[in-house]
A and B are shown apart, each in its own frame.
Chain A
Amino acid sequence: MSDNPAARPAAPVVERRGLLARLARARPTQPGEIYGVPGAGETRMLSIATIAVLIFIWWLSTTLGWVKPLFVPAPQAIVQDFVTILRRGYTGEPLWLHVGISTARVFGAFMLACLIGIPLGLAMGISPVMRGIFDPPIEFYRPIPPLAYLPLMIIWFGIGETSKVLLIFLSVFAPVALGARSGVRSAAIEQIHAAYSFGATRWQVLMRVILPSAMPEILTAMRIGIGFGWTTLVAAEMVAATSGLGYMVLSASQFLQTGIVIMGIIVIAAIAYMFDLIMRMLERRLVPWKGRM
């Protein structure tokens, strides 16, 4: 081999590329790979850029007067609304109370749905009797939009907290129970046989083999479930509520306070996103074997 420097591969040239070029590159594969899994790669920069562009277009169209503030207020107006409500509250209640009561409703309903839904789903997965009994009612009500049975909830349980929490509960319950039920099938029959051959009892097989195998699917179902919970929140707070984020949005819309409506939506989205982040963290903590190691 000659030691001619020209024969060596050229050192990577540090290119001064534009922002767009750098964003579009978005690293399609793992470093060192040329052909990776389709869809692999970093997306954060692109996502941030998308959000920035959307806000920019929003700002531009309001500043140039393309849309009336009644329909779409300027971003800075919404920040203004946010600050005002943060200081003075909305309809006499401070913002944190609205946030708190909504979170309590969604989270309470979610916890209840998990406490009942996960064991019931597991039971449905392992017992044909339980499946036979509970499958029809769950499958019957699952596709119905919560708004459709909201009136029934109110007739039966009044306009207090019960009907609100119950409505959210029902929307979370079905996905969680069905997730746990199908998670039961994640355990391989050989894994179960292996556990029996080590002297495990039926209960131990359930708790130490079937439950951990089902765990990833249960956590995914919980993530989907809490998403449904936030979706149903506004419906639950539509009737006779005097506090909560859903109530804030709805009553602001009646006074054409579009800024507060949008602000409320953003706050709901932010909290829901935070919940999702917490769920993902839980996923990483509880089922570390699922991800890449």
Chain B
Amino acid sequence: MADVELKHVSKRYAHGRQTTETLRDVSLRVGDGEFVSLVGRSGCGKTTLLRIVGGFVDADGGDVLVDGSPVTRPGSDRGMLFQHPMLFPWLTVLDNTLFGPRATGRHSPQARARAMELLQIVGLGGFEFHYPKQLSGGMMHRAAFARAMMAEPKILLMDEPFGALDALTRAGMQQFLLDLWNRRRFTVILVTHDVEEAVLMSDRVAVMAAGPGQIIETIPIDLPRPRSYEMSETPEFVQLKRRVRQSVERARGKAPVSVMNPTAGH
């Protein structure tokens, strides 16, 4: 397993003469097997942060360490899941799942058997030879999940993975992810704007503010595991949810002030 450590990470994007400070001095430690959510309004740099951990984007300053070694490029130790399943439409569900093993030359009858087993686990048994187009939205997400798990990532990076799903399917996928995480205990960084989802899933919720993006608070979620949807009505859950929401509100209140009135120093 693996841990992730971000130390004073900063990132700027240049648009012609203007530069936008996307991340300023972001530090976060995600322990081995820990489930951490990044919550914040859009534009707070949470996706950029995830891409930096994924190795797709270079940070301008600070250190990004996975298992103590700096991240320089994408790797199969870090699986990525996106808001859209991003399956390859020209491959069947099974071939999508086998994309990683084929690319890395580790394709074998065992890999194939494992892929079949994973598809069975995500509830896609019998759909191995379907094309993505023939699946429903939730099924595509589960296929993407199986494909990500195929590489046996130690860290799963998820960018609003259920954001585009309808409420019922979303709840099903959250429960599915919780169950799988309970069994495997990989490290997870989940980007979401759904406070309830963050509280339900995470060990800790990091609340981000925008302009420039930074983590303003990290809230521990000390609810018992294993968790399920029934918990969301308990007073403890509701209280935590309120706490996260208030923090998000504070973050929201903070940002416009610094944008509209940058000289206000008191």
Which chain A residues have a beta carbon within 8 Å of chain B's beta carbons?
A: 188, 190-191, 193-201, 204, 208-209, 212-213, 215, 287-289, 293
The reply to whether B104 and A199 contact each other, CB–CB distance below 8 Å, is yes
Chain B residues near A293: list those with CB within 8 A.
131, 133-134
Closest B residue, CB atoms, query A212: B90
Query: Which range holds the interface residue count of chain B?
Result: 20 to 34
Closest A residue, CB atoms, query B92: A289
The 8 Å CB contact of A194, one of B51, B80, B89, is: B80
Closest A residue, CB atoms, query B57: A193
The reply to whether A195 and B84 contact each other, CB–CB distance below 8 Å, is no
Q: Known contacts being A197-B78, A212-B88, is A289 close to B151, with CB within 8 Å?
A: no
| Measured CA separation A257–B150 after assembly (Å) | 70
| Measured CA separation A198–B88 after assembly (Å) | 13
Give the tally of cross-chain contacts (CB within 8 A). 73
Chain A residues near B84: list those with CB within 8 A.
188, 190
| Measured CA separation A288–B130 after assembly (Å) | 12
Chain A residues near B31: list those with CB within 8 A.
none
The reply to whether A289 and B103 contact each other, CB–CB distance below 8 Å, is no
The 8 Å CB contact of B99, one of A198, A215, A288, is: A198
A116 to chain B, nearest CB (A): 24
Closest A residue, CB atoms, query B153: A197
The 8 Å CB contact of A197, one of B75, B89, B133, B134, is: B75
Residues 129-153 of chain B, each 1 if its beta carbon lies under 8 Å from chain A, else 0: 0011110000000000001101101
Q: Known contacts being A191-B88, A198-B103, A198-B104, is A289 close to B76, with CB within 8 Å?
A: no
The reply to whether B103 and A194 contact each other, CB–CB distance below 8 Å, is no
Residues 195-234 of chain B, each 1 if its beta carbon lies under 8 Å from chain A, else 0: 0000000000000000000000000000000000000000
The 8 Å CB contact of B131, one of A193, A194, A199, A289, is: A289
Contact sample, A vs B, 7 pairs, CB 8 Å cutoff = A193-B56, A198-B76, A198-B104, A198-B151, A289-B132, A289-B133, A293-B134
| Measured CA separation A57–B133 after assembly (Å) | 47
B61 at the interface (CB under 8 A from A): no
The reply to whether A208 and B99 contact each other, CB–CB distance below 8 Å, is yes
Enumerate B38-85 residues with CB–CB distance to A below 8 Å.
51, 54-56, 73-76, 78-80, 82, 84
Chain B residues near A197: list those with CB within 8 A.
54, 74-76, 78-80, 148, 151, 153
The reply to whether B133 and A199 contact each other, CB–CB distance below 8 Å, is no
The reply to whether A209 and B88 contact each other, CB–CB distance below 8 Å, is yes
B86 at the interface (CB under 8 A from A): yes
The reply to whether A190 and B86 contact each other, CB–CB distance below 8 Å, is yes
Chain B residues near A196: list those with CB within 8 A.
55-56, 73-74
A136 to chain B, nearest CB (A): 24
